[in-house]
Amino acid sequence: MGDYAILLAALLALLAGLTIGKAWERYKLRDGRWIDRRKARESPHYILGLNFLVSNQIDLAIEELTRAAGLHSDAIEIDMILGNLYREKGQVSRAVKVHQELLQRPKLTKIEHAYVMLCLGLDFKSGGFVDRAFEAFSEVLRLDPKNHYALVNLEKLHEEQHQWQEAWEIRQRLTKAGTAAETPRNQEILAFLENERGLEALKRMDYRAAARHFEAAIDLDRKAVPAYLNLGDTHSLQGQPAKAAEAWEQVARVAPDQVFLAFDRLESIYAKLGTPERFPEMCRRLIAASKQDWRARAALSRHLAAHGSAREALDLLFEALVHNPHALIIHEAIWKILLDLDLDRSLVERYIELTGQAVFYLDPHVCLRCRYRSTELLWQCPHCREWNTFVEDRIAPAQDAEEAGELGRQRGPDATAVRSR
Ligand SMILES: [Zn+2]
């Protein structure tokens, strides 16, 4: 117990140090008198509140911090945290009220004002009040032009509104303010935003502008796969099939594991160019370069089946199956060819043998608390020791908010996180 107390004291000292900052900032001149801002922080409620916060017990944290805030109303960060906790709990109007009241406090410093504004912006954003969130984050930037959180949130709001140009401009600001280590990630995001701007130009049928944006995206990030795909589409629309093929073939060079996204396009453009043999040739090159490439095998198989080589097509699918026994599209392609071959008994037996050897998840259950996996439904998790936390993990499309909320109420707050793997 003694050790624990020392450890706790050290942790709290650290937390308090982080929150308070330099010692001389403890005292603040307000209404012509010095006040000691430590009082609230030294109350047991503040300390308990922080502890509950650390252990993610939000309701208890709110209770204790509310008491601490009542003792001394000068420590604005307690109310700031309280407001944020209400927001996290989904009580947006309450969060807005707490933060707006903070803005009414006299003698807020510029930085305090900016931080309360930021909290308010997050409240509005989570409540879906887009315009007011825009205003709040813009106000933060007026007070603190390099505020990273305000910039990132504004960028996301613009993205949600499909205002790609504006989002791109903000990412430029973030890139300039960022460190060298952050540059590749920033370039990658800028490339995605350029790609979106290109898609917009494509929608307007402004092919030259579209191509410019896609090329700019590739310059920013050589692995910007969607930009290559869209650049090829643009060339194709401009009546330049050879240039289109060239753009799509680049994907095989920069991101060979994603070139399958260009398979359909390449297969049809090669046929259009009068050189259909280039497609199986490319697939064979990909298979030779990467033995596990089941997608190239499946694509080559489909091509061969369509050109009358069913047996060779089936062999390729059996090989693909060894590398990815869970891919339903391989099984479906196999069933189709087996039917076309009148269910040749020896081939069906080979298929059954191959699937029998494959490792499937027999009955996948997963702990909602720690994600421990089990083949059977367990009542207590052997890893985190929690009771009744297992759900069956099925592959399913993401659910809409209403359904997810319904599930959340049935199985606790994390139930929706594991629906797909
Ligand atoms: Zn567990």
pLDDT, tens only, 53-106: 888 888 999 998 888 888 766 778 888 999 999 999 999 999 999 999 999 988
Centre of ligand 1 to C-alpha 384, Å, is 4
Centre of ligand 1 to C-alpha 360, Å, is 22
Centre of ligand 1 to C-alpha 381, Å, is 5
Centre of ligand 1 to C-alpha 366, Å, is 8
Centre of ligand 1 to C-alpha 88, Å, is 24
* pLDDT given at position 412: 39
Centre of ligand 1 to C-alpha 303, Å, is 46
Q: How confident is the model at residue 217 (pLDDT cuts 50, 70, 90)?
A: very high
* pLDDT given at position 45: 87
Q: Average pLDDT for residues 226-255, to the nearest whole number? A: 96
Centre of ligand 1 to C-alpha 222, Å, is 41
* pLDDT given at position 27: 44
Higher-confidence residue of 412 and 248: namely 248
Centre of ligand 1 to C-alpha 410, Å, is 18
d(CA 186, CA 356): 46
Centre of ligand 1 to C-alpha 71, Å, is 39
Name the most confidently modeled range: 185-199, 318-332, 339-353, 391-405.
185-199
pTM for the model stands at 0.71
> Is residue 83 within 8 Å of 119, Cβ to Cβ?
yes
Q: How confident is the model at residue 28 (pLDDT cuts 50, 70, 90)?
A: very low
Residue corresponding to tokens 């010095």: 34
Higher-confidence residue of 286 and 55: namely 286
Centre of ligand 1 to C-alpha 402, Å, is 26
Q: Average pLDDT for residues 236-242, to the nearest whole number? A: 97
Q: What are phi and psi of 206, to 5 degrees?
A: -90, 80
Cα dihedral 333, 336, 340, 346 in deg (nearest 10): 80
Centre of ligand 1 to C-alpha 369, Å, is 5
Centre of ligand 1 to C-alpha 383, Å, is 5
Nearest to 266 by CA among 220, 314, 222, 303: 303
Centre of ligand 1 to C-alpha 412, Å, is 14
d(CA 142, CA 164): 22
pLDDT in tens, 313-338: 999 999 998 888 888 899 999 999 99
Centre of ligand 1 to C-alpha 97, Å, is 38
Centre of ligand 1 to C-alpha 148, Å, is 36
Q: In what order do the strands lie in the sheet with 390-392?
A: 373-374, 365-367, 390-392
Centre of ligand 1 to C-alpha 394, Å, is 18
* pLDDT given at position 324: 83
Nearest to 94 by CA among 66, 130, 135: 66
pLDDT in tens, 94-131: 999 999 999 998 888 898 999 999 999 999 999 999 99
Long-range contact list for 242-250, CB < 8 A, 24+ apart?
A: 242/273, 244/269, 245/269, 245/270, 245/273, 249/282
Centre of ligand 1 to C-alpha 379, Å, is 10
Centre of ligand 1 to C-alpha 48, Å, is 27
Centre of ligand 1 to C-alpha 54, Å, is 19
Centre of ligand 1 to C-alpha 244, Å, is 50
Give the 3-state secondary structure of residue 98: helix
Q: Across the chain, what does the average pLDDT equal?
A: 84
Centre of ligand 1 to C-alpha 117, Å, is 39
Centre of ligand 1 to C-alpha 367, Å, is 5
Distances (CA, A) of 170 to 77, 129, 220, 408: 28, 20, 16, 35
